[in-house]
Amino acid sequence: MEEYTKEILLPRDEIQQRVRELALEISKDYEGKELILVGILNGVIFFFTDLVRNLHIPIKLDFIRAASYGAGTESSGTIRMSKDVEIDIEGQHVILVEDIVDTGLTLSKIKEKLLERGPKSVKICVLIDKRERRQTQVPIDYCGFHIEEGFIVGYGLDFNERYRDLADIFVLKEKEPSN
Ligand code: PRP
């Protein structure tokens, strides 16, 4: 039986509009520079592909696979990296692209690792900045939406690997018990 219900938070048109605005901002900031965009899999897939296709500048792209959550809605606090960047980032401008920053542990650990390789700069672009459970301050250079709380799914974001395929973003809520 389904124990959760979904309430729409960000409709697809609103997401797409904001992604185009972020792409424009990045395109202006990096005009005439070499830029590598690094997506943090898996949740970032749709945001990343929409973002890069709306840029007006040439870029290179690559991915890191990192996961912090076990099953359920609580972060495990441990970040497991199973795929690293393969492009040489030394002397390059890099933007790390992430679907959501929650505790901040994933992004701060990955940024720290990338900085050891001597890039010219590393900035961070997130679709959603969720502040409720922040444990470590990580500077967000480009942000799509701020939310305070709630477990959200859709547009790449999952709950136990479900709901990633939805085009809109929803808040997942526990169903009221019915008598
Ligand atoms: C989610 C999200 C971020 C991370 C954010 O990934 O995509 O990578 O959690 O949480 P944090 O700020 O608390 O570290 P998850 O580990 O669920 O893996 P996924 O991308 O495969 O969904």
For residue range 126-178, list pLDDT tens digits in order.
999 998 889 999 999 999 999 988 899 999 999 999 999 999 999 999 887 76
Q: Whose CA is nearest to atom 10 of ligand 1?
A: 102
CB distance 40 to ligand 1 below 6 Å: yes
How remote is the CA of residue 42 from the centroid of ligand 1, in Å?
8
Angle at which helix 45-53 crosses helix 12-29, to 10 degrees, equals 50
Model confidence pLDDT, tens digit, residues 78-111: 777 889 999 999 999 999 999 999 999 999 999 9
Q: Give the Cα separation of 55 and 146 in Å (integer).
A: 22
Question: Are the CB atoms for 15 and 152 separated by under 8 Å?
Answer: no
Residues carrying an active site annotation: 102
Model confidence pLDDT, tens digit, residues 108-118: 999 999 999 99
Q: Give the Cα separation of 163 and 165 in Å (integer).
A: 5
Assign a CATH topology to domain 12-148: Rossmann fold (3.40.50)
In which band, very low, low, confident or very high, does the pLDDT at 179 lie, cut at 50, 70 and 90? low
How remote is the CA of residue 100 from the centroid of ligand 1, in Å?
7
CB distance 105 to ligand 1 below 6 Å: yes
What 3-state class would DSSP assign to 65?
Answer: strand
CB distance 106 to ligand 1 below 6 Å: yes
Q: Whose CA is nearest to atom 14 of ligand 1?
A: 106
Statement: the pTM of the whole predicted model exceeds 0.85: yes
Whether the predicted pLDDT of 69 surpasses 80: no
CB distance 46 to ligand 1 below 6 Å: no
Rg of the chain over Cα atoms, rounded to whole angstroms, equals: 17
CB distance 69 to ligand 1 below 6 Å: yes
Each domain of the chain, given as residue ranges in start order, spans 12-148
How remote is the CA of residue 69 from the centroid of ligand 1, in Å?
6
Q: Whose CA is nearest to atom 2 of ligand 1?
A: 100
pLDDT of residue 20: 98
Model confidence pLDDT, tens digit, residues 9-61: 999 999 999 999 999 999 999 999 999 999 999 999 999 999 999 999 999 99
pLDDT of residue 76: 58
What 3-state class would DSSP assign to 50?
Answer: helix
Q: Where are the beta strands (DSSP E) in 21-74?
A: 35-41, 60-69
Whether the predicted pLDDT of 1 surpasses 50: no
CB distance 50 to ligand 1 below 6 Å: no
List all residues 6 or more positions away from 55 whose beta carbon is below 8 Å from its beta carbon.
23, 26, 27
Q: Which residue in this structure is represented by tokens 């969720």?
A: 130
